[in-house]
Structure 1
Amino acid sequence: MKLKDYTATAKAALRVAMECSPRILWKFMYNFGWRNLKNINQFERRQAKGEDFFPAFIMISITESCNLACSGCWVTTTGKQSLSPEQLDGIISQSKRKGSYFFGILGGEPLLYKGLLEIMEKHSDCYFQLFTNGTLITEELALRFKKMGNITPLISIEGLKQESDERRGRNDVFEKTLAGVRACRKAKLIIGAAASICKSNFNDLVNREHLERLAAEGIHYFWYYIYRPVGPNPNVANALDEDEILDLRRFIVEQRKNAPLLLIDTYWDDKGNALCPAATGMSHHIAPSGAVEFCPPIQMAKDFINEDASNLVDLFRQSEFLDQFRKMTAEKSRGCIILEDPEKLVQFLEMQEAIDSTSRQTVAQEYLTMRPVAGHNLQGKEIPEENVFYRIMKKKYFFGFGAYG
């Protein structure tokens, strides 16, 4: 193994150890690290043996409400749908029965959900990645996160000042988001940032200067997404083309050699082959309506949790809709069907008689107007991981779980 790979990754990891409180580190290593390792192994065995299906991780959108109005967002931010506290608590409890203790908490803006922290505090044996725009994080709130110890805020930074204001529909969003980051840094939290990369923010965010800027602000890991032109107001012209996606992949692989923070993606395995986490069964999504969905941007479903989510395990075990969805997407492509073949997606959803799970009730019509754009399935142009640490992690966690044969 290359010593320089260890050194580069160790430096990024050392920042976490040096900058975060001992309680935060312990919760991360045990709740996320140890429990997650056991969970992945259990999931892998279930998949290999053809046992009852349950995803390794569940992403939970708890509310449609949001204090921003971002262009290209698939959430109905003016909607009123939210999971009940009993449903949220039940989702977590039922998942723990299957060995899953890690959850992504999304919105809208999840910090608008009353009672969220009390539920996460109740489940102190779990670890939560809180997807937030950061504008509502105060020093007081960050200190509460620190006391709980089982939350890592993943703060969305969609561009610098001008792009943030234009894309997110409000003024001074960049400054307010950074204020939230700084509150988290003062509380010595493990802090993540995320960005949906599109044409309008590519030059600002896909460069070494931005990674160093984030690290200087106290960010410990950065998660790159690929922009999906979905929702009530999609901006197809802002979608990346194939060359830009290749440049993004190349940049991530190159920067992993010596970046001052950890770089995350869920699009490619260790060899650079594309994958879809939902097609592998690794993760699925629960919407504010209680719909059990394939993934967050695909807002149509046939399965819904009951008033306390006590039926969740049975839904995953019995859902022909999700089973057929996984098979269909894996057979079609290793990439993202919503980008590459929206027509095939519509045909499948119509055949399955899936239901719109949003407040706006226009998703089916939105999909009918979509046209294919470039995805991350770059056959013949794969870029393998070069950093040994990332290569091992990807080989362990992103090899497809048999979904692609």
Structure 2
Amino acid sequence: MEKEFDIQEYMTRGVERVVTDAIRATIKNPKESAFMARFMMASKVASAKRKKMEEKGEHVPPFLIASITSNCNLHCAGCYSRCNNSTKDSKPVNQLSDEEWQRIFNEADELGISFILLAGGEPLLRAGVIDAAGKKTSILFPIFTNGTFMNEKYLKKFDKCRNLLPIMSIEGGREKTDNRRGAGVYEKIVSNMDELKKKDIIFGVSVTVTKENIKEVSSKNFIGMLSDKGCKAVIFVEYVPVSSDSEELALTDDERDNLNTEIFCLRKEHEEMVFVSFPGDEKSSGGCIAAGRGFFHINSHGDAEPCPFSPYSDINVKETSLKEALKSRLFHELQNEKVLLDEHKGGCVLYEKRHQVEKYSQIAEGEKYFHSIPTSK
């Protein structure tokens, strides 16, 4: 009989593998290695906290994605965040304050969450939140940035606070990066890499993989260039369409299989680097790990969502704790109704099942409203 998949065990091993790889990747840098060794100890403590919660029947994922702002200076072609109106040019209104994010980071630490991915919008526009994250040294904060606001002040911050890991977005070479992100962005990112390497600051890149760049971004030339620049982590993010007119950019099953094969080879050829694929092959993790199974998302206004690609919510952390947010009725329905495990064409199951997710969200929100109505005596 096949052993039942254990998402807790899978994600715990994943966290420890990434940290172990990071220690190996930075072994020639005593300052970085010392931090990574301390973090690995903190990761084991966090894992024990999650296991204790699990024994009480409360599942806590090791990852959290936090979109700390809805503001961004770029207009990248096909940006999911702009397509679903999560990112705008206007001045953000009713976003979580620096103090509220600090509370969330503290609560995440207490629960045993080891990784918090800071996203946006452009997260470097929220210097106060970055400062708050830097103080929480038991948590690793990969910062997904477009790189255009990287300056000497931030370089000093990243040098001092080694739990802050800049992850810069790049689409391949100069032509593909500038075509999607804007003229001059590629040159700025490469310049940032040179400055980060000079200071021995560990950094990575995030690559949105589409039909148009899949061969280039998985090529030996591109990965070799990143390695030479000192890049230690490459996160391949498969393009998830958020509208029907951009679906042609999404990978086919064959292209996704080819990417996974290339990543497997790259891990062997470049042991100095860490390679992660998202969402990757969901079959290897027993289905989609969003909605609290392996991670969940807090948007800039405090809504707890299954995933950045699935902007539906029935609970807000302004009104409750992070622990209570994990008990979201929407998350509960997605898990119990096996939506996350459903058969689908490939890629993002939550996008393919978006109408079903929206329905559960509306039901959960309706029940929340019903139970909030005072009863007459």
Cα deviation, residue 280, structure 1: 6.3
- Structure 2 segments unaligned to the other structure (5+ residues): 1-19, 82-86, 367-377
User: Partner of 2:276 in structure 1?
Assistant: 264
User: Partner of 1:242 in structure 2?
Assistant: 253
1:66 aligns with 2:72: yes
User: Partner of 1:330 in structure 2?
Assistant: 340
1:215 aligns with 2:227: yes
| Aligned partner of 1:25 among 33, 48, 58 | 33
Q: Which secondary structure does the structure 1 equivalent of 2:80 belong to?
A: coil
Distance 1:12 1:151 in 2: 13
Deviations 1:80-139 (A, max 9, x none): 143211210110111122122431111111001131232123323432111111222124
User: Partner of 2:210 in structure 1?
Assistant: 198
User: Partner of 1:177 in structure 2?
Assistant: 189
Contact 1:136 1:180 in 2 (8 A): no
User: Partner of 1:311 in structure 2?
Assistant: 321
**2:26 alignment partner AA:** V
Distance 1:270 1:238 in 2: 19
Q: Which secondary structure does the structure 2 equivalent of 1:58 belong to?
A: strand
**1:345 alignment partner AA:** V
Distance 1:349 1:316 in 2: 14
Distance 1:92 1:242 in 2: 37
Moved more, 258-267 or 220-229: 258-267
Q: Which secondary structure does the structure 2 equivalent of 1:265 belong to?
A: strand
Q: Which secondary structure does the structure 1 equivalent of 2:27 belong to?
A: helix
User: Partner of 2:5 in structure 1?
Assistant: none
Distance 1:62 1:204 in 2: 31
Distance 2:107 2:285 in 1: 33
Moved more, 155-164 or 72-81: 72-81
Q: Which secondary structure does the structure 1 equivalent of 2:26 belong to?
A: helix
User: Partner of 2:264 in structure 1?
Assistant: 253
Cα deviation, residue 283, structure 1: 0.8
**2:266 alignment partner AA:** Q
Distance 1:331 1:293 in 2: 18
1:167 aligns with 2:180: yes
Contact 1:90 1:310 in 2 (8 A): no
**1:323 alignment partner AA:** H
Cα deviation, residue 171, structure 1: 1.0
Cα deviation, residue 348, structure 1: 3.3
Contact 2:22 2:36 in 1 (8 A): no
| Aligned partner of 2:124 among 108, 111, 119 | 111
**1:230 alignment partner AA:** V
Contact 2:333 2:360 in 1 (8 A): no
**TM-score, normalization by structure 1:** 0.75
Q: Which secondary structure does the structure 2 equivalent of 1:303 belong to?
A: coil
Q: Which secondary structure does the structure 2 equivalent of 1:141 belong to?
A: helix
User: Partner of 1:120 in structure 2?
Assistant: 133
**1:154 alignment partner AA:** I
Aligned-residue CA RMSD (Å): 2.8
Cα deviation, residue 222, structure 1: 0.7
User: Partner of 1:372 in structure 2?
Assistant: none
Q: How has the CA–CA distance of structure 1 residues 316 and 15 changed in structure 2, closer, same or farther, with 3 Å as cutoff?
A: closer
**1:191 alignment partner AA:** F
Q: How has the CA–CA distance of structure 1 residues 234 and 350 changed in structure 2, closer, same or farther, with 3 Å as cutoff?
A: farther
User: Partner of 2:288 in structure 1?
Assistant: 276
Q: Equivalent pairs: percent with the same residue?
A: 25
Q: What is the number of equivalent residue pairs in this alignment?
A: 337
**TM-score, normalization by structure 2:** 0.80
1:348 aligns with 2:355: no
Contact 2:292 2:326 in 1 (8 A): no
Q: Which has the higher contact order (CA 8 A, sep 6+)?
A: 1
Cα deviation, residue 224, structure 1: 1.1
Distance 1:178 1:110 in 2: 19
Distance 1:315 1:280 in 2: 10
**1:43 alignment partner AA:** R
Contact 1:192 1:220 in 2 (8 A): yes
Cα deviation, residue 350, structure 1: 4.2
- Structure 1 segments unaligned to the other structure (5+ residues): 1-9, 355-405
Contact 2:159 2:201 in 1 (8 A): yes
| Aligned partner of 2:112 among 99, 117, 141 | 99
Moved more, 263-272 or 321-330: 263-272
| Aligned partner of 1:90 among 103, 108, 114 | 103
Distance 2:144 2:361 in 1: 28
User: Partner of 1:38 in structure 2?
Assistant: 45
Cα deviation, residue 41, structure 1: 4.2
Distance 1:301 1:135 in 2: 31
**1:61 alignment partner AA:** S
Distance 2:126 2:292 in 1: 30
Distance 2:341 2:287 in 1: 12
Q: How has the CA–CA distance of structure 1 residues 172 and 102 changed in structure 2, closer, same or farther, with 3 Å as cutoff?
A: same
Q: How has the CA–CA distance of structure 1 residues 268 and 160 changed in structure 2, closer, same or farther, with 3 Å as cutoff?
A: closer
